[in-house]
Chain A
Amino acid sequence: MDFGFTDDQRDIQRTARDLLSERAKPERVREHAESGRSDSELWRELCELGWPGIAVSEEYGGQGLGRIELSILCEELGRSLAPVPFLASVLAATVIEHSASEAARERWLPGIASGETLGALGVAVDGTAELVVGGAEAQVIVLVEDDGTGRVLAAEEAEVEKIASIDPTRTAARVSAGDGGEALDGDVAAGVDRALVAVSSELVGVCDRALEMTVAYVKERKQFGVPVGAYQAVSHRCAQMLLETEKARSTAAFAAWTADADPERLAEAAAMAKAAASDAGREVTASAIQAHGGIGFTWEADVHWLYKRAQLDAVLLGGAGSQRARLAGILADRVRASAAA
């Protein structure tokens, strides 16, 4: 048993963190969020580094690395809140690679891997997804339904209505598929579970950053002559934030590992990771605001961007409640199977 990263994975993490702390500083994120634009300069740079194709197989122009490497990048991008269409694109690529026809894979994956094509993934009910992150700028959209069916469509084949979500660091849209595009005929669930892991990892990054900012703040901020972090109401809150973050981090790591090494357990691991990460994202970022006091409620303090990102990610592809419901089903099946055996 070894939870550690390989040297290569550590390199990816270090490079990503260094790059983003330089190129996605809070001022820059805020500037782009306020003007509702994504950071095209940074995106070009990430594309040159091959980030969008990190987990796409080499035969479709990607780097062919694993889900752990992808999770590392998702986490770092979550930490920085970089306003780039990374997550949406890799989510779409994941489902296309696992469940679209060979023709669709050849059509879309090389473009997504190079970053020239943007993708987005949404959960639809009767063909309509109310909020698809990245949907407004994607050229290819994948819509999956609860019953395990799905379609992949070029944006012009869908009805795409741009909406302004509370998180302006990325675009969003309401998307209706109609009969456009083509039905997914492969293992949709396998793709969606891997997508859930990527979202969970982004949430881990958001939590990690919220905790880091909070700990730094409560050490500095004094009231009644002492740093507020000395009050147990505040220090225990920080400890709780760590617990939530680590619950999410360990389950997300387990899920990323199962995706590559033990796919039989992926469904359970992905549901667990997304349930833990969705709850952690909401609680940790809300706690960050609370521990900052009034300043945490202001626009300038930047904590709110983490809260808003977490709110969207928490419901993306199904929130904690629906993941737990799925888990309960998996557990019930397991009990029944072992009783029958």
Chain B
Amino acid sequence: MDLTFSPQETAFRDELRAWLAANAPAPEPSDGGEDAHYAWRRDWQRRLYDAGWAAPAWPTEYGGRGASLTESAIYFEEIGRARVPMAANVLGLLLGGPTLMVWGTPEQKERYLPPILSGEEIWCQGFSEPDAGSDLASLKTRAVKDGDDWVVTGQKVWTSGAQYSKWCMLVARSDSEAAKHKGLTYFLMDMEQDAVQVRPLRQITGEAEFNELFIEEARIPDANIVGGVGNGWKVALTTLMNERAGLGFALQIRLRQLLDDLIAKAAERGMLERYGDALAELHVRCESIRLLAWKGLTDVERYGQPGPEGSLVKWLWSDTNQRLTQLAVDIVGAEALTSGESWSYELLRARGNTIEGGTTEVLKNIIAERVLGLPRLKVAA
């Protein structure tokens, strides 16, 4: 066991840290709404891209740095630590690109990867539907073959960034006769067509971070199928596996920062003693999350496959963020319940953490069944 970085990893971190210090993004726009905010994140991606920092984990042949898993984790920790925004095309960089690298044809890689990296073409994710959340494979959006095209009709939900996107990673049912997981196909759908309508989805915080997609006979050419007809579930799993990998490291740092802010508040208000036990417990959890996340990388590096850490980290992180933001109401006081303040935003937003990316209940099922090998409840397919 050696819980330090190698000289090469340290050099990677120092280079990035120095670059971030010298290239801080413009200040976050205070007005202009979501469009201005998005433009700001797009500019930021451009700056990362120009310096070769948009996606260091991508292989060099696709414009990345071929960073190791550890370096990639360092990258997200540093991005979190520097409190810079996520690149505008985060879904393209983290999900779309890596999925194409596994399943895409040479033509698809050549066509789609460069504009993902530069942020010229934004990507969104069309997986969840109103009736297909935890049971994603039961999705009903239909794709019907018509000449060299597919005609797609259905509804998607929780598509963040849809209003800015050029491409949607869309999973649709291309064969209604086949078994649930077998009748799905993974498409790249052009969002710039009238058949696709985007409606903002307002959430508990009052803002609309997400959208609903209404798709009425959208056309998608054969050439935009990823991984072959009927293979959509496997391709979608590749996308979902990438979902947690990198971002977790940035979220873990964000949690740490929130805890440090809260501890400072408690000190300022003379409440360190009264809430000492609860704060210390949060500290233990934060550290466990960090250590488990790193331990998960060791599993992959040594044994070639991820252990249970990914699910454990997501579970512990979401629960801890909810506890932390709730404790903040007791420590920070009114500010944490005043709308528009950052503590109240964090409190409300944290409610989504145990739902998004797989609910805690479903994560526990996965841990029980796949990690512990417990018997599975038989339910109708």
What is the interface of chain A, defined by CB distance below 8 A to chain B?
A: 130-131, 163-168, 174, 222-226, 228, 231, 233-234, 282, 286, 289-290, 293-294, 296-300, 304, 307-308, 311-312, 314-315, 319, 321
Known contacts A231-B361, A233-B361, A282-B326: does B355 contact A294 (CB below 8 Å)? yes
* 17 intermolecular pairs with C-beta atoms under 8 Å apart: A130-B335, A131-B333, A131-B334, A164-B339, A166-B337, A224-B134, A225-B135, A225-B380, A226-B379, A282-B326, A290-B351, A290-B354, A294-B356, A298-B201, A299-B203, A304-B351, A321-B274
Give A65 to B218 CA distance when docked, in angstroms: 65
The 8 Å CB contact of A299, one of B133, B204, B274, B322, is B204
In the complex, the chain A residue whose C-beta lies closest to that of B201 is A298
Q: A297 with B135: in contact, given A130-B334, A319-B330 (CB under 8 Å)?
A: no
Given contacts A293-B355, A300-B202, A319-B329, 16 further A-B contacts (CB under 8 A): A130-B334, A131-B338, A164-B339, A165-B337, A223-B132, A223-B134, A224-B134, A226-B379, A233-B365, A286-B351, A290-B359, A299-B202, A299-B204, A304-B351, A311-B347, A315-B337
B54 within 8 A of A: no
Given contacts A319-B330, A321-B330, contact A297 B352 (CB under 8 A): yes
Closest to A285 in B: B351
The answer to the question of B348 belonging to the interface, with a C-beta cut-off of 8 Å to chain A, is yes
5 tightest A-B contacts by CB?
A225-B380, A130-B334, A131-B334, A299-B202, A233-B361
| Chain B, range 331-381, C-beta contacts under 8 Å to A | 333-335, 337-340, 344, 347-348, 351-352, 354-356, 359-361, 364-365, 377, 379-381
A164-B132 Cα distance, complex, nearest whole Å: 36
Asked if B306 is at the interface (CB within 8 A of a chain A CB), the reply is no
Min CB distance B108 to A, Å, is: 30
Q: Mark B121-135, 1 if CB is under 8 A from A, else 0.
A: 000000010011111
CA distance A293 to B338 in the complex (A): 25
The answer to the question of B40 belonging to the interface, with a C-beta cut-off of 8 Å to chain A, is no
CA distance A131 to B341 in the complex (A): 14
Q: How far is the CA of A92 from the CA of B204 in the complex (A)?
A: 31
User: In this complex, what residue of B is CB-closest to A297?
Assistant: B352
- Which of chain A's residues have a CB closer than 8 A to the CB of B334? 130-131, 163, 174
Query: When A223-B133, A286-B322 are in contact, do A165 and B202 touch as well, CB less than 8 Å?
Result: no
- Chain B residues packing against A (C-beta within 8 Å): 128, 131-135, 138, 157-158, 201-204, 206, 274, 322, 326, 329-330, 333-335, 337-340, 344, 347-348, 351-352, 354-356, 359-361, 364-365, 377, 379-381
Chain B nearest CB: distance from A126 CB in Å? 13
Q: Name the residue on A nearest B130 (C-beta).
A: A295
Name the one of B134, B340, B352 contacting A164, with C-beta atoms under 8 angstroms.
B340
* Residue of B133, B201, B351, B381 with highest tally of chain A CB at under 10 A: B351
The complex places the Cα of A222 from the Cα of B333 at a distance, in Å, of 40
On whether the beta carbons of B351 and A307 are closer than 8 Å, the reply is yes
Q: Which chain B residue shows the least CB distance to A167?
A: B337
Give the complex CA separation of A319 and B278 in angstroms.
Answer: 15
Whole-angstrom CA separation of A222 from B134 in the bound complex: 10
* Chain B residues closer than 8 Å to A315, beta-carbon distance: 329-330, 337
Nearest CB of chain B from residue A298's CB, rounded to whole Å: 6
The answer to whether B135 and A299 touch across the interface, beta carbons within 8 angstroms, is no
B379 contacts A166, C-beta separation under 8 Å: no
A234 to B355: give the CA distance in the assembly, Å: 13
Q: Which of B330, B360, B380 contacts A226 (CB 8 A)?
A: B380
Task: Find the residue from B333, B334, B348, B364 having the highest chain A CB count within 10 A.
Answer: B334
Bound Cα distance from A234 to B381, whole angstroms: 19
- B residues in contact with A293, CB < 8 Å: 133-134, 355, 359
- Given contacts A294-B133, A307-B204, are A224 and B380 in contact (CB under 8 A)? yes
Least Cβ–Cβ distance between A306 and chain B, in angstroms:
11
Find chain B residues with CB under 8 A from A321 CB.
274, 330
Bound CA span A282–B336, Å:
14
Provide the residues of chain B in CB contact with A225, threshold 8 Å.
Answer: 135, 379-381
The smallest beta-carbon distance between A228 and chain B, in angstroms, is 8
Taken together as a complex, chains A and B put the C-alpha atoms of A289 and B326 apart, in Å, by: 15
Query: Could you tell me the distance between the alpha carbons of A132 and B337 in the complex, rounded to whole angstroms?
Result: 12
A297: chain B residues within 8 A (beta carbon)? 203-204, 351-352, 355
The interface residues of chain A lying within 8 Å CB-to-CB of B138 are 223-224
Interface contact B344-A223, CB-CB below 8 Å? no
Q: How far is the CA of A315 from the CA of B330 in the complex (A)?
A: 8
What A residues does B348 contact at CB under 8 A?
A: 166, 304, 308
How far, in whole Å, are A209 and B158 apart by their CA atoms in the complex? 27
| Alpha-carbon gap, A294 to B352, bound state (A) | 7
**Which residues on A sit within 8 Å (CB–CB) of B356?**
294
Q: How far is the CA of A130 from the CA of B329 in the complex (A)?
A: 13
B32 to chain A, nearest CB (A): 21
* Contact yes or no, B337 A131, CB < 8 A: yes
When distances are taken between beta carbons in the complex, the residues of chain A under 8 Å from B344 are 166
Q: Residues of A contacting B379 with CB < 8 Å?
A: 224-226
